[in-house]
Amino acid sequence: MTESLLSLDHVSREFSTRHGRITAVDDISLEIGRGDILCLVGESGSGKTTVARMAAGLLEPTRGAIRFEGRDLRQTSKDEHKAYRRAVQLVHQDPYASLNPVHTIGDTLRAPVLHHKLVKGRREATERAAELLTQVDLTPPQNFLSKYPHQLSGGQRHGHPLALNPRLIIADEAVSMVDVSIRVSILNTMLKLRNELGVAFLFITHDLAVVKYFGWEGYVGVMYVGKLVEYGRTPQIIGRPLHPYAKALAAAIPEADPDLTRAKEKLQLRSLDIPNLTALPSGCVFHPRCPYFVAGLCDEVVPQLVDVGDGREAACHVVSRERGKEAAA
């Protein structure tokens, strides 16, 4: 990993709900360097969106620290904070909701560069906007500047958070609601930004197949009910997931190949239900669903995220035990 851009240091986030306090994110540490890709995978309720919002500065952690270029966000000066907000951009799940329907694409792209006084005047802002559209393959840009959001396709609407020359893009399920072909073109555009301009990505999704494609050269963190349960390089995690939850996710994904997908070995979970966040299970939070569950251990002791070799980490008693046996043999 190169110099640290953004780091989360033992970060937790709690929320008060009608049914009591819940811990949406529980003691997570992550680091993203310049040009890195870090994918967070998990289902709804895993806390991955809460991580995204904290990383984007939209939500403060209840405990722990978030650092941008080594500086704790709570201690940054006004200027430093502004620099951080410029450098870190969030791409939402529904691109439609993040564009103002009564403004043209040109207006929307000009606004942030004018606001942050990155250009001298409207004309220069327009030139900058045209440049950006070209960068995301919306060419010729003149065709798009005067259009309104509803006149663009879902894929085309995704381009605009790039307006500020970001160094880190946080993409929260940014491609989960778009068609397959548009999805690939968005992913390819983002990979181009990373490879050519060194933009780093915190990429959040529920789909491991998308992670395999987008995050091949990066890292994956698998989240379950607020906790990081497995972490490592993408090819390793996809090729041989260790944590039973990561295994279940990989086994569940259907493939666009009839023979392969019908022959695929499935991992039968003991229960389909994600636990209630206000009444979490004792011990390992995954134990009520886990097919490898060991009574007296998994339901009593909380597993810690530990090094399991090859630079990967997992929070699972069974994995650690196997690992211990291998080491002894």
Q: By C-alpha distance, which of 282, 179, 173, 182 is closest to 225?
A: 282
Q: By C-alpha distance, which of 154, 151, 104 is closest to 130?
A: 104
183 binds other proteins (CB under 8 A): yes
| Residues 236-255 close enough to bind other proteins by CB under 8 A | 238-239, 248-250, 252-255
309 binds other proteins (CB under 8 A): no
Burial of 115 (0-12, 13-18, 19+ CB in 10 A): exposed
Interface region with other proteins, contact rule CB under 8 A, candidates 14-22, 108-116, 261-269, 291-299: 261-269
114 binds other proteins (CB under 8 A): no
Site string for other proteins, 44-83 (x = CB under 8 A): x---------------------------------------
Of the residues 184, 280, 294, 297, which one makes contact with other proteins according to CB under 8 A: 184
Strand, coil or helix: 66: strand
Least separation in angstroms between CB 145 and other proteins: 18
Of the residues 65, 111, 118, 182, which one makes contact with other proteins according to CB under 8 A: 182
Residue number, 131 or 257, with CB nearest to other proteins = 257
282 binds other proteins (CB under 8 A): no
| CA–CA–CA angle 306, 307, 311 (5° rounding) | 145
The residues, any chain, with a CB within 8 Å of residue 293's CB and separated by 6 or more, are 270, 287, 299
Q: Kindly determine how many residues on this chain lie close enough to bind other proteins according to the rule CB under 8 A.
A: 46
The residue assigned the tokens 């397959």 is 180
266 binds other proteins (CB under 8 A): yes
258 binds other proteins (CB under 8 A): yes
306 binds other proteins (CB under 8 A): no
256 binds other proteins (CB under 8 A): yes
Interface region with other proteins, contact rule CB under 8 A, candidates 32-40, 163-171, 212-220, 279-287: 212-220
Strand, coil or helix: 31: strand
Least separation in angstroms between CB 65 and other proteins: 31
Least separation in angstroms between CB 14 and other proteins: 23
Tokens linked to 88: 């870190």
β-pairing verdict for 227-233 and 71-72: unpaired
| 248, 250, 253, 258: CA torsion to nearest 10 | -110
Least separation in angstroms between CB 70 and other proteins: 33
Interface region with other proteins, contact rule CB under 8 A, candidates 7-15, 128-136, 206-214, 280-288: 206-214
235 binds other proteins (CB under 8 A): yes
119 binds other proteins (CB under 8 A): no
Residues 266 and 298: beta-carbon distance below 8 Å:
no
Q: By C-alpha distance, which of 223, 246, 313, 239 is closest to 39?
A: 223
Burial of 64 (0-12, 13-18, 19+ CB in 10 A): middle
Could you write out the DSSP letters of every residue in 138-168? --STHHHHT--GGGS-HHHHTTGGGGG--SE
Interface region with other proteins, contact rule CB under 8 A, candidates 69-77, 80-88, 270-278, 291-299: 270-278
Binding site for other proteins (CB under 8 A): 43-44, 153-156, 179-185, 187-188, 206-210, 212-213, 216, 235, 238-239, 248-250, 252-262, 264, 266, 269, 272-274
